[in-house]
Amino acid sequence: MKAKHQRLWLVVGALTALGGAGALAFSTLGEKATYFYAPSDLKKGPAPTAAIRLGGMVEKGSITRDGATVRFVVTDMAQTVPVTYTGILPDLFREGQGVIAEGRIDPATGAFKADTILAKHDENYMPPEVAGAMKKTGRVSAGN
């Protein structure tokens, strides 16, 4: 075997081993690297007491305001969690749009009390007139 073939197999072998190690690390890491939990994830186990992030869609027609406090429902189309938040909301916070709330579940009421609200953007990009036309045909849920 020529030296360069030896080196080739060495590199291929090393990369395969590295890939295997990566896959093992990935399977162990699993859910821990997730940035937020969906409402369904929370309903699976006992309510966590630590601070967590909750992500999903702002349910249509669920936003109510009381001064600087806003109440809305986060849904993943299977489960829902009511959220309360006091403070300034990001511009993209809208009904029917993605949202991530950082905070805790109030054990007394089961509602999620958020300290921070981040708006999540989806992968659809289009001009307003296209969105308007699609809204009419019901192909997109524009919040504004």
Partner 1 sequence: MHRYANPTRFLKIARVATPIVALLGLALTAAGLWIGLFASPPDYQQGDSVRIMYVHVPAAWLGAGGYMSLAIASATALIWRHPLATIAARAIAPAGAAFTAICLVSGALWGKPTWGTYWVWDARLTSMLVLLFLYLGYLALSASEADKGGEARASAILALVGVINLPIIKYSVEWWNTLHQGSSISVVNASSRIAPALLTPLLLSVAGFSFLFAAIVLMRMRAMLAQQRVDARSRRLAEALA
Q: Using CB under 8 A, list all residues that contact partner 1.
A: 4, 7-8, 11, 14-15, 18-19, 22, 26, 33-38, 55, 89-94, 97, 100, 116-132, 142-144
Tokens for 130? 């296209």
Question: Which amino acid belongs to residue 2?
Answer: K
**Comparison of 84 and 85: residue with beta carbon closer to partner 1:** 85
CB of 72 to partner 1, least distance (A): 15
Per-residue b or e along 48-58, where b marks 16 or more CB atoms closer than 10 Å to that residue's CB: eeeebebbbbb
Cα(142)–Cα(128) distance, integer angstroms = 10
**Comparison of 58 and 117: residue with beta carbon closer to partner 1:** 117
CB of 108 to partner 1, least distance (A): 27
Contact 113, 84 (CB under 8 A): yes
**Comparison of 81 and 117: residue with beta carbon closer to partner 1:** 117
Tokens for 62? 């669920």
**Comparison of 60 and 109: residue with beta carbon closer to partner 1:** 60
